[in-house]
């Protein structure tokens, strides 16, 4: 039998666990929504950051026009959770994904999906025709990230023409996400990088419009560039996602106002326990399986900026401490190094206000989870 103990205080939570500070989180939600309203740009935040229906609902309550998802599995979970207005930002290639997409779009016809290849466009057309649906597509444009996306200019025009000839596809616009600009350190440097990238998107948009294609949507922007890209003429919506949580990586890139990026507050921590203490070493129970390692740096200890964290295995982190502030059994909050892949390591957010645990919000299945629809 499974017990969910009636946890009420942070002190009772298991470690490692993911603790969301609701005050900071709500403030982050409101700040981004207010910014979007003021700048007359739509917000369709990326749910790959949180993979959580409860958070997506709150984003929509605050004014988001829908949500982005990276995968078909995320899209299924969001639709089942009642979210609508989805943009799937990952290419749906291969029969299993295309089938899932068709079943999903049958339930939520307004769902948009990116396409970056004429062969894939053909596969989508055939599937949409056999399901008797009209599929809304966005051209995924490679504006410098060197990942997916069709090249700007002529290649994009060819793709638009293929889409126009496909009776069951409908072009909605361009997805131009400059992931390579999101973490450029220094606000001016970041602005330069993002503008250079988006200039290519604007030129391609103009080219498509000139040739008679409709480009109603131009989607882009990260948490690092929201206050850069919103001012770009013709940008219609933002995908920014990390703003809800923030992380060490984003804090390091610098803001418009200073060396530390503080537009949004770090709202998400990993709660850990000191399980060993000797000499200048404190070992916490949060290691590779509790904190994303992809950036090469670890978390910051909340309130102890001088304490260095080193990864020390799957279940261990090593803190280098010069004094006796940290004792065996202490429970420390670690500001997460990189939010999206860290959230992916947990089953739920423990949502706290002050010391009180107000709610538990489930995080969706990992890869290889069930197929819905």
Q: Is 221 left (phi over 0), alpha (psi -120 to 50) or beta?
A: left
By beta-carbon proximity to its own copies, the closer residue of 314 and 355 is 314
Shortest Å, Cβ 9 to its own copies: 11
- Cα of first residue to Cα of last residue in the chain, in angstroms, is 29
Between 93 and 164, CB nearer to its own copies: 93
Nearest-approach distance from CB 30 to its own copies, in angstroms:
26
Q: Is 195:233 a contact under the CB 8 Å cutoff?
A: no
Instruction: Give CA 65 to chain center in angstroms.
Output: 16
Closest approach of Cβ 35 to its own copies, in Å?
24
Q: Compare residues 62 and 333 and give the one whose CB is closer to its own copies.
A: 333
Q: CB 256 → its own copies: shortest distance, Å?
A: 25
What is the rounded distance in angstroms from the CA atom of residue 265 to the CA atom of residue 247?
Answer: 9
Question: Which residue, 42 or 288, is less far from its own copies as judged by CB?
Answer: 288
Nearer to its own copies, 1 or 305 (CB): 1
CB of 195 to its own copies, least distance (A): 22
Smallest gap, in angstroms, from Cβ of residue 291 to its own copies? 10
Residue in the structure block whose two tokens are 């423990």:
350
Contacts of 138 (CB under 8 A, 6+ apart): 87, 112, 113, 114, 115, 171, 172, 173, 174, 175, 217, 219
- Short-list 35, 69, 30, 29, CA closest to 49: 69
Choice between 91 and 262, CB closer to its own copies: 91
The most distant pair of C-alpha atoms in the chain lies apart, rounded to whole Å, by 71
List, as one string, the DSSP characters of 227-263.
HHHTTSTT--EE---GGGT--HHHHHT-BTTBSS--S
């Amino acid at each position: 039998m499974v017990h969910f103990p009636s946890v009420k205080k942070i002190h009772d939570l298991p470690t490692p666990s993911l603790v969301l500070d609701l005050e900071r989180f709500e403030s982050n939600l409101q700040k981004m929504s207010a910014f979007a309203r003021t700048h007359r740009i739509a917000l369709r935040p990326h749910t790959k950051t949180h993979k959580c229906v409860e958070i997506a609902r709150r984003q929509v309550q605050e004014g988001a026009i829908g949500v982005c998802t990276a995968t078909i599995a995320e899209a299924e979970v969001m639709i089942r959770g009642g979210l609508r207005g989805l943009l799937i930002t990952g290419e749906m290639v291969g029969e299993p994904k295309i089938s899932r997409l068709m079943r999903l779009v049958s339930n939520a016809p307004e769902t948009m999906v990116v396409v970056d290849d004429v062969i894939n466009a053909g596969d989508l057309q055939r599937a949409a025709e056999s399901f008797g649906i009209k599929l809304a597509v966005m051209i995924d444009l490679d504006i410098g990230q060197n990942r997916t996306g069709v090249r700007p200019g002529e290649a994009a025009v060819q793709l638009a023409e293929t889409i126009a000839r496909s009776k069951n596809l409908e072009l909605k616009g361009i997805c131009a996400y400059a992931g390579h600009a999101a973490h450029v350190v220094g606000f001016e440097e970041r602005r330069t990088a993002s503008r250079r990238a988006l200039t290519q998107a604007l030129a391609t948009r103009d080219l498509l419009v000139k040739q008679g294609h409709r480009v109603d949507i131009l989607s882009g922007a990260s948490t690092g560039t929201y206050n850069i890209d919103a001012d770009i003429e013709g940008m219609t919506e933002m995908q920014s996602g990390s703003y809800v949580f923030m992380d060490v990586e984003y804090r390091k890139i610098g803001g418009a106002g200073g060396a530390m990026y503080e537009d949004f507050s770090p709202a998400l921590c990993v709660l850990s326990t000191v399980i060993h203490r000797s000499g200048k070493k404190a070992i916490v129970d949060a290691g590779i399986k509790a904190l994303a390692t992809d950036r090469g740096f670890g978390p910051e200890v909340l309130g102890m900026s001088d304490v260095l964290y080193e990864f020390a295995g799957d279940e261990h982190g090593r803190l280098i401490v010069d004094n006796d502030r940290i004792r065996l059994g202490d429970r420390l909050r670690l500001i997460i190094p990189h939010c999206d892949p860290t959230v992916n390591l947990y089953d739920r957010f423990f949502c706290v206000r002050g010391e009180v645990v107000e709610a538990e919000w489930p995080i969706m299945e990992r890869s290889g989870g069930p197929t819905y629809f």
